[in-house]
Amino acid sequence: MTTDPTLTDLAQKASSARHTPAYGHDALITCDRLVRIFSADGIEVQALQGLDLLVREGELMALVGASGSGKSTLMNILAGLDTPTAGAARVAGHDLLTMTAKDRLTYRRTVVGFVWQQTSRNLLPYLTAAQNVALPLQLGGDRAHGTRRARAERATELLELLEVADCRDRRPHEMSGGQQQRVAIAVALANDPSVLLADEPTGELDSHTADQIFAAFRTANERLGTTIVIVTHDQAVAGEVRRTVAIRDGRTSTEVLRRSEVDETTGHERVVAREYAMLDRAGRLQLPADYTRALGMRDRVALELEQDHIAVWPDDSEEM
């Protein structure tokens, strides 16, 4: 039996809804049902199809996914280089959908730093490493680094932190690919951004050099507290971070979390990884393709609520 709610019931309901924190209220990066549609030659491509993602301050995380799944599209939006078609995206309090062109420029110069795959895209070829690091300080208009000397000191400090102080006076073509990427990280960190975004930063490097670049990101994360999001195909990099989020068909699909555990018998520390599926706010869940294939699940499945889990069964309606 249902009874009509009283005015007091409705007031209480409205008040509790007001006190429910908004989705992602405590996250540094919030993507809420993010959509990006590209139209080319009359054909629409939905690169992001309602992507949800929360990243907390101080995280170092990896984004993985097949080619064409939407990783670069997401990174370009977070970098302030592209605007979403619909949904919501906020980074450090900046609304990426409603920013004016002027806000967008300030955002790109002071809130986010980026490192791209192509080493040549990250540095200006005619400037030395130190000059490359000093440039964003000058453009960002940071008062603390208003003088040439203050900027040179900051450049030296960052190049030392990333262990490329010896490249200080060299131009990009006089450095190895790995050195160039470490200088690129220093450039991206110059204005002390809230978030550092890296799109396949080790894509052009051999595995040993890639390890060194990853160590440089870890240093930035641990020593400066910068939140870092790395898009990577490199399993070694994805295996090193505490959180790896997989994107499939323009949505976040699964997430692997790793934590250290001490083995009770040996006393050794080991890393335990566990994979989770993403449940979106509408209650949608993407089942891994190999699971559904293994059980011949297609368009319909049966669900049963158990005491502590939900069971998903293949469609048995034909047998009924």
Ligand X SMILES: Nc1ncnc2c1ncn2[C@@H]1O[C@H](COP(=O)(O)OP(=O)(O)OP(=O)(O)O)[C@@H](O)[C@H]1O
Nearer to ligand X, 81 or 311 (CB): 81
Nearer to ligand X, 72 or 110 (CB): 72
CB burial class (10 A; 0-12, 13-18, 19+) of residue 211? middle
Smallest distance from the beta carbon of 56 to ligand X, in angstroms? 23
Nearer to ligand X, 66 or 272 (CB): 66
Smallest distance from the beta carbon of 74 to ligand X, in angstroms? 7
Torsion (CA) 99, 101, 106, 108 in degrees, nearest 10: 80
Smallest distance from the beta carbon of 159 to ligand X, in angstroms? 30
Nearer to ligand X, 35 or 135 (CB): 35
Smallest distance from the beta carbon of 262 to ligand X, in angstroms? 37
In the complex, the residues that contact ligand X under the rule CB under 6 A are 38, 40, 45, 47, 65, 67-73
Residue 114's CB is within 10 A of a number of other CB atoms, namely 24
Nearer to ligand X, 140 or 203 (CB): 203
Smallest distance from the beta carbon of 95 to ligand X, in angstroms? 22
- Which residues make Cβ contacts (< 8 Å) with residue 53, sequence separation at least 6? 29, 30, 31, 34, 74, 245, 252
Encoding tokens for residue 209?
A: 């050099």
In terms of phi and psi (left: phi > 0; alpha: psi -120 to 50; beta: otherwise), the region of 96 is: alpha
